[in-house]
Structure 1
Amino acid sequence: MEITPSTPSLANSAATGAAKTLAQDFDTFLTLLTSQLQNQDPLEPMDSSEFTNQLVQFSSVEQAIQTNKNFETLIALTSANTTSAALDYLGRQVTYAGAESNLQGAGIDWSYDLDPDAVASSIAVKDATGKVVFAADGPEDGGTHQFAWNGKDNAGTDLPDGVYSLSVSAIDKAQNPVSADIFSTGTVTGVDVTATNPVLSIGGITQPLVSIREINQDS
């Protein structure tokens, strides 16, 4: 099993840097204000409205920075939860949205959802180069269907291990093409959590976590 770790850091976040800069600017502002108040002409006191406006601006910026900090914390917590969820998939057999799967001696299990209006269909298995290595007629109705391929071509010859994909074509009564959503099944052997969205390795096929449709009960 392979795990590629992530290294999130809040310490170097933009909000943290902005807060530090704001604190330095505010200290400078207070130093200047104190100096001007100490040296002002008692007979012509300074107009405090400008300083009041600047204080209000500092307060607004400080609140905005704090809001950004809260958002960053929330994002970090969400990312940690997503990473934890992704790691739970290691070693589990899953079904994911995608036509590609890896033949590893025992065949490949696919499923596909045909449009309810489908009245005829055909299936084809293609190798990594796009060449059709197996073809057959499919079901004549819509709904969910299973296809367990034994890894052989139409002549019954065993094909080498590697990546294969399923293609499903279907038509309705008017001979118009209709949709077919294909799903593959495999075991999760690795997890990459370095990106924003974790990526799973399923028998050598990389799939985003969001593509997982179910975890098989017998895994």
Structure 2
Amino acid sequence: MTTVSGVDSNVATDAASQAAQTRLTTDTQSFLKLLTAQLSNQDPMQPVDPTQWVAQLAQFSTVEQAVTSNSRLAEVLTELRSTGDRMDLSYIGRSVEVAGDRVALKDGKLDATYNVPDGAAKVDISIVNNEGRVLRSFTGEKVAGLHALSWDGKDTEGALMSDGTYTVKVVATDEAGKGLTTDVYQSSKVVRITRDDGATLFRLENGLTVERDRIVSAA
């Protein structure tokens, strides 16, 4: 995992693009050599058919355009990546709201929100650790909309859990017992941005590390 920078973040992609450009340029040079050799060694009594000559020139033109287009596309992609990196870096220091049931307990406190859809007759909430053990259970609100969820970090026996990442499971059902879709959100400040296997990761103050697509709002 590496810290994002305007210079080093796209080295691998740029190298691949440069390799493709080199191959394309080599193909063009090979084509020109072949064409020149053909003209130099043609039989004066049976010169190259003009139709074939035009076709070969058309092929050369196509290859040349491909080289130019590839170069320009590489420049555009580099600029787009640089713009994307600058936009990502602008999140540092800002408070963001992220979606997902993986939330963080920090300093013995977890604050989140959950969304309840219309038609909920029962809402059960549970806090689960990484081993799958239910630490605490709550009865959630049935009224449609966003609701606050607070956990003091203690399990059912009153033992204080260590800071870290936990799963908040919100199970909502209607009168017929059919499951309804719910969402969980948590807000924190972005303190660092890193790149891992091509993905941009946002490190939050509460200890969470999330991808860009989990951010639903920023302030």
TM, length-normalised to structure 1? 0.83
Report the counterpart of residue 93 of structure 1 in structure 2. 95
How far apart are residue 187 of structure 1 and its match? 2.9
Contact 1:128–1:162 (Cα < 8 Å) also in 2: no
Which of residues 70, 73, 80 in structure 2 aligns to 1:71?
73
**Matched AA of 1:53:** A
Contact 2:120–2:174 (Cα < 8 Å) also in 1: yes
Contact 1:15–1:69 (Cα < 8 Å) also in 2: no
Distance 2:157 2:48 in 1: 97
Superposed, which structure 2 residues align to 1:28-43 within 5 Å?
A: 28-36=33-41, 40-41=44-45
Cα deviation, 1:136-187, whole Å, max 9, x if unaligned, reads 1100122222212222234544322222121101111222121111122233
Report the counterpart of residue 3 of structure 2 in structure 1. 3
**Matched AA of 2:211:** P
Distance 2:57 2:34 in 1: 9
Distance 1:45 1:170 in 2: 82
Which of residues 18, 22, 28 in structure 2 aligns to 1:17?
22
**Matched AA of 2:56:** Q
Distance 1:148 1:74 in 2: 47
Q: Give the secondary structure class of the aligned counterpart of 1:189.
A: strand
Cα deviation, 1:84-128, whole Å, max 9, x if unaligned, reads 122222233321111112222151121122221212201111122
- Residues 76 and 156 (structure 1 numbering): CA distance in 2 closer, same or farther, change over 3 Å? same
Distance 1:99 1:205 in 2: 12
Q: Give the secondary structure class of the aligned counterpart of 2:161.
A: coil
- Residues 18 and 127 (structure 1 numbering): CA distance in 2 closer, same or farther, change over 3 Å? same
Report the counterpart of residue 200 of structure 2 in structure 1. 198
TM, length-normalised to structure 2? 0.83
Gaps of 5+ in 2: none
Q: CA RMSD in A?
A: 2.5
Identity over the aligned pairs, expressed in percent? 27
Contact 2:106–2:207 (Cα < 8 Å) also in 1: no
Distance 1:109 1:60 in 2: 60
Distance 2:152 2:124 in 1: 17
- Residues 3 and 90 (structure 1 numbering): CA distance in 2 closer, same or farther, change over 3 Å? farther
Report the counterpart of residue 152 of structure 1 in structure 2. 154
- Residues 11 and 163 (structure 1 numbering): CA distance in 2 closer, same or farther, change over 3 Å? closer
Contact 1:121–1:139 (Cα < 8 Å) also in 2: yes
Contact 1:96–1:212 (Cα < 8 Å) also in 2: yes
Gaps of 5+ in 1: none
Further displaced range: 3-12 or 67-76 = 3-12
